[in-house]
Amino acid sequence: MIILPAIDIKDGNCVRLLKGDFGTVEKVAEDPFQTAAGFLKAGARYLHMVDLDGAKDAKMVNRDLFTSLARETSLKIELGGGIRTLDAVEYYLANGIERVILGSIAVKNPEFVELAVKEYGDRISVGIDAKDEMVATEGWLDTSDVHFLTLAKEMEKMGVKNIIFTDISKDGTLSGPNLEQLRAIHEAVSCDITASGGIRDIQDIRNLKKLGVWGTICGKSIYKGTLNLEEAILQAADKGDSIC
């Protein structure tokens, strides 16, 4: 299983939110470049990043920060937030980002996802973020009438190979991931599933590894010290795996 430490960016700062609420913004680190270097030193090989401003405003707000970091680190970066056009996808993939994550656009324009997958293959991932099992969009500010499993199956048909699933009610709570919903989506599709939201400690890593998901995103647990990144990577035994 892959461990992906997370850096979420708002106004150029490393922050975390509680359940996706922009009113709960908490700065968790001084510098994204130093934070990434610390993750690399701990043994990480992958990095999950989100442009929170971009997710809310539907455009690439912090793109220069992400591409600068991609140039300076050997970590393989997957990036989501505000990626709504093929030009945006191409820009990031041509400037050091390993994989882009399409979120809201998957609900609002699934044909776009299909086109992107045909062009870029497994360098395209889809983020499915659920609130009461229904898919949320626009930085989690809106909720659709699409069930998360319905969207997952639709994305699988379009050739998507990796889905990042988040139960929004768990995100940032350190209360453990939603194993029931993760099991459901893992069994519903053949895509690699990356678990996100609620991870607290090493037992959660063990539970997710047993479940058989492809990867796990860890954010607040690392910043708050409830999870040791180096220990998590060793527990997950992700050596030899590849992001694509």
Q: Which residues are catalytic?
A: 8, 129
Structure tokens at 126: 């889809």
| Residue 141 neighbours by CB distance under 10 Å | 13
Residue type at 89 in one-letter notation: V
Smallest CA-to-CA distance from 5 within 196, 138, 183, 139 is with 196
* Spacing of C-alpha 178 from chain mean position: 15
**3-state per-residue secondary structure call for 38-94:** HHHHCCCCEEEEEEHHHHHHCCCCCHHHHHHHHHHCCCEEEEECCCCCHHHHHHHHH
| Contact present, 62 and 51 (Cβ < 8 Å) | yes
